[in-house]
Structure formats: structure tokens, C-alpha cells
A and B are shown apart, each in its own frame.
Chain A
């Protein structure tokens, strides 16, 4: 039994350590080092490059939402359907953490791009 509780304790500690790697903004993640593939476009809709995303992390944007607001990644026509996972991976690598620890972008209405005149075209309640 003690072995099981030890294991639980260790798991909790590991989780806390992982969480602090995401949340502890005073942590030193090192300097931004330019890479040869920095000019590859990652978010096609908003034409954001890998280098811009990596730089944003070094500018202090440590979450998907922050990078999204800073660079508009995932805010174009496809709403991050293609790049969501890629952006998350780039941020995680820059922070030295597993992508699973990063909260994905917020999901909100409308789930799919649609024209405003349609969005406003609500059926009338009889």
C-alpha cells in the first residue's frame, strides 16, 4: 500500500514540476537562436512563420492563446484546423515541455467560418 501511495506522491510531484514548467514565467528558456527553417510558413491563412512563433515565445507568449492574440495564428479562414497542432508543437519545443501540457486554443462559435450575413440570419421564433 505504501508503495502505491509513494507512486502517487511521485506522480503528483512530477505533475507539479511539469505545471511549473508551463506557468513559471521567471524560468530561463534561453536566448532565441535563429534556425534555418525559420521562414517556413506554419499558419497559412494568416501567413505566420515558424521563426515568428518561436520569437513570440521568447517575447513572453507562452500559451497558444497568447501567441494567437500576438500573431493571429489560427485566426484565419480555417480557424487553426491545420496549424493548431503545429503551433502548439513549436511553442512546446521552445519551452522544452510536452505539447500535451499546453492548453489548446479556445473553441467558440462559430466552429466553421461563415459569412456575417448568414450568421445574422437567425430563424424567427414563431
Chain B
């Protein structure tokens, strides 16, 4: 039987991070993953991540995946793919299916980082081809280059539902609507705003009544639900769609730990059955640790830190690290993790309905129900400034742990301060040179450059633009509002696509000056787009 200092199950963000941390301390590490490619969900994440520099903020998920793989290679981690761990037994023995053979492997320490699986909901017709998980849609689009459908209804307004809706539009699908049985949008407001300004309607307190079609989805009927989640008769709405995406949460895949006899608990806040964990991912089984979604649903950035923690803990368990060094390292990681677990979406705030920001500004209600901040509400936020000349207008209205805008501005125009969840402010006195780094770096695409008065009755608005084909300079079209409504005629005066922008193009459009603070998206005329 092969023996390793550490066996990691799952080569996603937490598993790879754990392996790297442990291998860096001299441990002999192998990572098993049942998929053809490593990286877990990271290689489907084409959007830029939130957080601070230390958390790889403003780096796209798949690039973080590439970095992790390279680091794993450098530290001597062995990554074994198409290897399904089918059993975890006493005495740290694992049974792995590799190809057509069954192998037994022993790990002096084991880290379970198996992640999570998508939840499903049932409704009439849910078994029809065309009803798919949002994660499946992402796999089709971003790993295999296959269009999931032409017109999609998204059920679920958490970050997965919002991010996948945007990606569906990026790959050329039309998103007919986003529905959610909850009364409020569950994900980040900035993610919702990105799709609302493209014209996608939100239906909160609505869920799917039935999928229509005989051998595949041809439409969907949604209806409003009351506070007990019962349908309200007469509120039915129909959409012609060929695909229904389900993004209603994730469940930890913790079966291996349960099988091995680890103490488990059913914790709805963590997404279901999770191992009861001590410090740094230690399960009730000595030498068996866990990290990432399997121990409680969160997101990739925190999963990577949890992986590091479990890796260091495993190293200390076997004596590859002395206790002092381990304590020091864990302290560092704990601080980094608590920085991420702040703000209104932090685990401790789950289920709470906040009404004001940390700054005491009323939270936008339209953002929570319709996906955009209304013209009246937006004026209250510190990043929403009026000025002469070009200047950033920051439509970041919820306290989330993220600060790249502050880091990238070469003129120090934008300040967040030491509290990473604070809303960004545009500093008085500092001079904006219009470089656009803030626009391209904002993971929530919530920063715009506005020159409110060009002196000839027009204004120029620079927006982040991540769609193809890229309109050429001179293209005419319509400027859309935050809610996706057509506002006025607009023409493209400049397109910038610098390397530092990492594929977020900056589209500058000219609009009549009265629309300077409302025009937030550009749609080219059909003829012009050809």
C-alpha cells in the first residue's frame, strides 16, 4: 500500500491550497480528484474576485486556478486526476478508483476537501431536458465551450445565480428573467446591478410553477408566492425559454467523513450535513482535517485560506512544523480569513435583514428587489460624486470586503480606509486623470468615469464592458439606465483594452449631458452591430 504524509481529497481551491501549504513544509503530498481537470470550480470562474490584494482580488478565478496549479507543481505536490476516492476507512486508509483499478492508499494525515453539490427544486416538468443546474451551465459554457441554450430563466438570485446569469449573457444567451422565492436578492448588489442594467428583470417572491414542453423545455411559468411560499393565484407569468437554470444553493459533499465515522451535525446555516470541526479544520478523527465548502458553504477565497489552515495543521500534527511556527502561521491565516468574513454578507449576518450600511446610509431597497439602485437612492452614497471634469462615480452601496479600487488609483482619488468593508469614497482635492484603472479593477463593475459636461451639451460616460463583439469607435446605439431602460441616443467615442485591464474593456460613450448620471450601459443599434 502506498503511503503519503498527506492525502488530500479534492483538487479545488481549498484542496490545492492545503496541499501547497503542507508540501511547502516538506511533506510528501498527493491530491486525488475525480475530474479530468484540477481546480474544482475555479476554472469556471471567469469573473474577477473580490477581497484585498492578499486575497487575490481583481484576479479572475481561472487565473487563480492556474497560479495554484503552478505553485502545486513547484512545491512537489502530486495531483492525481480521474481518481475517485470511493471509501475512507479507519486507520487513515483510502480506497481510490484510478482508471480501471482499485487502489488502497494510506495517508498519515488526510484532508477532505470534496466541496459541495448543487441543490435542486421540484416543479411540474423539472425532469425535462433543459432544466439544469447553474453550475452545469457554467461547466458547459466555460469548460466545454457549449452554449447551454438560447433563452434562459434563472431561478435563484444568490451570487451563483447572478454571476452565471451574467456569464450566460456574455456567451450570447438571452436571460429572460431572474426569479427567487425569497423577498430579497440574495447575492451582492453589484452582481445584480450588472445584469439589471442590461435589461434583465428580477422577480422576487416568485418561483417556478411549471416547465412547459413535451420532450424538452419550451417555456416556463413562474408565479408569486406569499410569506409561506404558497402560490398566489392569478400572479402567473409565462416566458418562452429553452433552458431553466437552477441556482438554489449548495449542499456539502461530506459523505466520506460520515462514512469514516467523523462527528457530523446538520447545520442549515452551513448548507446541511457538515463535520463538527475544531480549530483549523480538525475533525473528530485524529489526523483527519477538512477545508472548503465541505465543512460549510462559503466561497472560493475563504476556501483557499481554510485549505492553507488545514495544510499547516496537518504539518504540525506530523511534526513538520513546530508548535510555535504553526501558531504563528495560523494566526496570520485566521486574520486573513476574518477580514473576508466581514460585512453584510458575512456568515454571521446570514438571514439578517439589514436596513442601513455601516456608515448609516439607508440600504437601497430597489437594489434588493429589482437589482438596481434607484436614481433617488444613489445620491446618498459616498462614491457618487458630482464634479467638474472627468471623475470616478462609484456605485458601490453595500459593505462587502473588497478594496482594489483604493489600491489601483495612481492619484489616490479613492479611499476605503483600513476597514475593508467600508464604502469607497472619492477623496476631495485629488485629481482624476481618467486612466480607468478603477473602472477595470472593480470586481463588481460598479465604477464609472463621468465627465458631466463637455461644454457642448454632451457628457462622456466610461463603463466597464465585457461583451463581444466590442463596438468600434463611432458606433451608435442606445444608452441604458441602471434599470436597463433605454434613455437616449449614445455613440462610442473611445474603446480602451489595456493589458492591465485584464479583458475588462473601457467603453466611453457620449450622451446628452442631462443623462450623465443615469446612462450606465450601451447597446449598439442592430444594424451597427453587423
Binary B-proximity of A4-23 (CB < 8 A = 1, otherwise 0): 00000000000000000000
From B1, B100, B122, B268, A100 is in contact (CB under 8 Å) with B268
Question: How many angstroms from the CA of A15 to the CA of B124 in the assembled complex?
Answer: 36
| Chain A hits for B104, CB < 8 A | 122-123
Residue contact B97 to A123, C-beta cutoff 8 Å: no
- The digit string for A94-126, where 1 denotes a CB below 8 A from any CB of B, is 000001110010011111101001111111010
Q: Is A121 touching B101 in the complex (CB atoms < 8 A)?
A: yes
Q: Which residues of chain A in 2-56 are interfacial with respect to chain B, using CB atoms and an 8 Å cutoff?
A: 37, 40-42, 44, 50
**Distance, CA A97 to CA B117, complexed state (A):** 24
B100 touching A121, Cβ below 8 Å:
yes
Q: Are A41 and B251 touching (Cβ within 8 A)?
A: no
A residues neighboring B (CB under 8 Å): 37, 40-42, 44, 50, 81-86, 99-101, 104, 107-112, 114, 117-123, 125
Contact of B34 among A37, A82, A112, A117 (CB under 8 A): A112
Q: Please encode chain B, from 83 to 123, with 1 for each CB lying within 8 Å of some chain A CB and 0 for all others.
A: 01111000000010100111110000000000001011011
Q: Please give, as numbers and ranges, the residues of chain B lying within 8 Å of A119 by CB-CB distance.
A: 102
Most buried by A among B103, B255, B273: B255
Docked-complex contact A40 and B102, CB < 8 angstroms = no
Which of A86, A111, A117, A123 has the most chain B CB atoms inside 10 A of its CB? A111
Is the pair A86, B259 in contact by a Cβ cutoff of 8 Å?
no
Contact of B95 among A81, A83, A109, A120 (CB under 8 A): A109
Closest to B97 in A: A114
Q: What residues of chain B lie closer than 8 Å to A40, measured between beta carbons?
A: 122-124, 126
Which single residue of chain B is at the shortest CB-CB distance from A84?
Answer: B251
A118, B259: Cβ atoms closer than 8 Å: no
Contact with A along B241-261 (1 / 0, CB 8 A): 000000000010001101100
A107 with B86: in contact, given A44-B127, A50-B122, A85-B251 (CB under 8 Å)?
no
Q: Is B34 a contact of A109 with CB atoms below 8 Å?
A: no
How does the 8 Å CB contact mask read for B169-181 relative to A, with 1 for contact and 0 for none? 0000000000000
Q: Are A108 and B259 in contact (CB under 8 A)?
A: yes
| A111 and B256 contacting across the interface, CB-CB below 8 Å | yes
Q: Are B122 and A107 in contact (CB under 8 A)?
A: no
Contacts of B84 in A (CB 8 A): 111-112, 114
User: Which residue of chain B is the closest to A117 with respect to CB atoms?
Assistant: B100
Q: How far is the CA of A81 from the CA of B117 in the complex (A)?
A: 8
- Does the CB pair A112–B86 fall under 8 Å? yes
Residues of B within 8 A of A114 (CB): 84, 86, 97
Assembly CA distance A107 to B101 (angstroms): 22
Closest 10 CB pairs of A and B: A109-B87, A107-B255, A110-B86, A100-B266, A107-B259, A107-B258, A111-B86, A122-B102, A123-B103, A112-B84
Given A111-B87, A114-B97, A118-B97, decide whether A125 and B1 contact each other with a Cβ distance below 8 A. Answer: yes
**Once the chains are docked, how many angstroms separate the CA of A108 from the CA of B123?**
30
**Residue in chain A with minimal CB distance to B123:** A40
- Where chain B touches its partner, the secondary structure class is strand
- Known pairs A85-B251, A100-B266, A118-B101. 19 more at Cβ < 8 A? A37-B122, A40-B123, A41-B127, A99-B266, A104-B266, A104-B272, A109-B95, A110-B95, A111-B85, A112-B34, A112-B86, A118-B100, A121-B102, A122-B101, A122-B102, A122-B104, A123-B101, A123-B102, A125-B1
Interface pairs (7), CB distance under 8 Å: A37-B122, A40-B124, A40-B126, A109-B259, A111-B84, A123-B101, A123-B104
Q: Give the CA-CA distance A25 to B101 in the complex, in Å.
A: 46
Give the shortest distance, in Å, between B11 (CB) and chain A (any CB). Answer: 16
Given the complex of chains A and B, what is the CA–CA distance between A101 and B268 in angstroms?
Answer: 11
Q: Please give me the residue from chain B that is nearest to A42 by CB atom.
A: B122
**Complexed CA–CA distance, A118 and B83 (Å):** 13
Bound Cα distance A112, B266 (Å): 22
Interchain CA distance A35-B267 in the complex, whole Å: 30
Check B87–A110 contact: CB distance below 8 A: yes
Contacts of A108 in B (CB 8 A): 259
Do A85 and B87 have beta carbons less than 8 Å apart?
no
A88→B341 CA distance, assembly (Å): 30
How far does the alpha carbon of A46 sit from the alpha carbon of B122 in the complex, in Å?
16
Which residue of chain A is the closest to B125 with respect to CB atoms?
A40
Q: Which residues of B contact A85 (CB under 8 A)?
A: 119-120, 251, 272
Cα of A50 to Cα of B120 in the assembled complex, Å:
14
Across the interface, which residues of A come within 8 angstroms of B126, CB to CB? 40
B1 & A107 in contact (Cβ 8 Å cutoff): no
CA distance A3 to B307 in the complex (A): 40
CA distance A84 to B271 in the complex (A): 13
Bound CA–CA A109/B85 (angstroms): 9
Q: What residues of A have a CB within 8 angstroms of the CB of B259 in the complex?
A: 107-109, 111
Taking the nearest CB of chain A, how far is it from the CB of B288, in angstroms? 15
Alpha-carbon distance between A125 and B1 when the two chains are bound, in angstroms = 7
For the complex, what is the distance from the CA of A81 to the CA of B266, rounded to whole Å?
16
Closest to A79 in B: B255
**Minimum CB–CB distance for B346 against chain A, Å:** 22
For residue B253, give the distance in angstroms from its CB to the closest CB of chain A. Answer: 8
Min CB gap A52→B, angstroms: 13
Residue of A nearest to B268 (CB): A100
| Chain B neighbourhood of A83, CB < 8 A | 120
Q: Min CB distance, A26 to chain B, in Å?
A: 25
Residue of chain A at shortest CB distance from B253: A81
**Nearest chain-B residue to A41 (Cβ)?**
B127
Residues of the B chain whose Cβ atoms lie less than 8 Å from the Cβ of A118: 97, 100-102
The distance in angstroms between the C-alpha atoms of A117 and B102, with both chains bound, is 10
Known interface pairs A41-B127, A125-B1; A111-B122 also in contact (CB < 8 Å)? no
* Residues in A whose Cβ lies below 8 Å from that of B102: 118-123
